[in-house]
Amino acid sequence: MNSRPPLSNSRALLITAGAAAAFFILLMIIPGPHKNRTNSPSPAVGPTGSTEAPAGLFATRCSQCHGLPALTHRSPEDWRILVLKMNRYMKQTGRLSLTDAQAQEVTRYIVENQK
Ligand code: HEC
């Protein structure tokens, strides 16, 4: 026979709140790359309407671990996947990384400038 009474609602609530608080504190303690670096909020858009950012993003982000990669020909899809993989590495190792939009811009830059 189960003689223990079920958790009262308020007790369960307290435990849940406590666990949530502990988890939140843990998140705050764990150091990590802070997403919102105080970059200029809007990307610089040149007079031609094309952003200048992608070339700079490519140069700064993609040279953090190896030399700037040669842009040998790959399909756009291959580059897209590769940039996503590299961006994952950047996040995992706490380096400067790319937002989703920036990753797309860099991918487009690469595809347009590859040999
Ligand atoms: C956090 C470190 C890091 C950064 C930053 C980085 N890479 Fe890499 N890259 C690697 C590692 C590690 C490898 C080899 C392992 C692999 O291919 O997964 C690699 C391999 C490559 C290769 C060869 C892979 C192949 O399949 O031929 C290319 C091309 C490349 N990187 C392009 C880039 C581009 C473009 C960027 C910027 C968007 C970039 N990398 C940024 C770590 C990085």
What's the pLDDT at 2? 60
**Protein residue with least CA distance to atom 28, ligand 1:** 69
Domain residue ranges in the chain: 53-115
The per-residue pLDDT for range 89-114, each reduced to its tens digit, is 999 999 999 999 999 999 999 999 99
Say if ligand 1 is within 6 A of residue 65 CB: yes
Residue 17 reports pLDDT greater than 90: no
Which candidate, 54, 35, 69, places its Cα nearest to that of 103? 54
- How much is the pLDDT for 12? 73
- Which tokens hold the place of 83? 């940039």
Q: Best mutation site among 62, 74, 85, 86 for ligand 1, i.e. most ligand atoms within 8 A of its Cβ?
A: 86
pLDDT at 40 over 60: no
CA geometry: angle 21, 100, 95, nearest 5 deg: 70
Tokens 């995992």 belong to which residue? 92
Q: Please enumerate in sequence order all residues whose Cβ is within 8 A of that of 87, keeping only pairs 6 or more positions apart, or say none.
A: 61, 97, 98, 103
Q: Which residue has the least CA distance to atom 1 on ligand 1?
A: 90
pTM: 0.67
Is residue 46 scored above 70 in pLDDT?
no
For residue 115 the two structure tokens come to 């040999």
